Structure 1
Amino acid sequence: MTRTLQEQLIKNGLAIKPMKKRKKKSKSQNFKEKLSKREIEALMGINRDIYKRVKGSFRKK
């Protein structure tokens, strides 16, 4: 049997064994939050006050 160089180094204790790959969990599985329509609109900034510049000062419209 022919062994690779990496296998020989592992057998002699001279190399680090390769780590096992972990499965990644998607964020949607970890955290599920239901947002209402009003909360989504607030995050998007739909219901903000509107300001207008009048003679150098800002006024609420």
Structure 2
Amino acid sequence: MIYKGIKMSVQKNTVASIFHTSDAQSESDGGNVVARTYLLRLKNEEAATNLSAVIKENAPLD
């Protein structure tokens, strides 16, 4: 899940961020939600910058 105000660190070809994952099959199931840190390595700095921009664009405003 992407939440509002998501924090990311972009350095060279790497994006580090915390995403919340759920074991529920649908939103109404409830389930356990766990915050996990992901380190995403991409081919180059431009790809990392583009990924960061897409994640921020799709984060909720409220």
TM tier relative to shorter chain: under 0.3
Which of the pair has more CA radius of gyration?
Answer: 1
* Larger RCO (CA under 8 A, 6+ residues apart): 2
Using the size of structure 1 for normalisation, the TM-score is: 0.19
Question: Which has the larger strand fraction?
Answer: 2
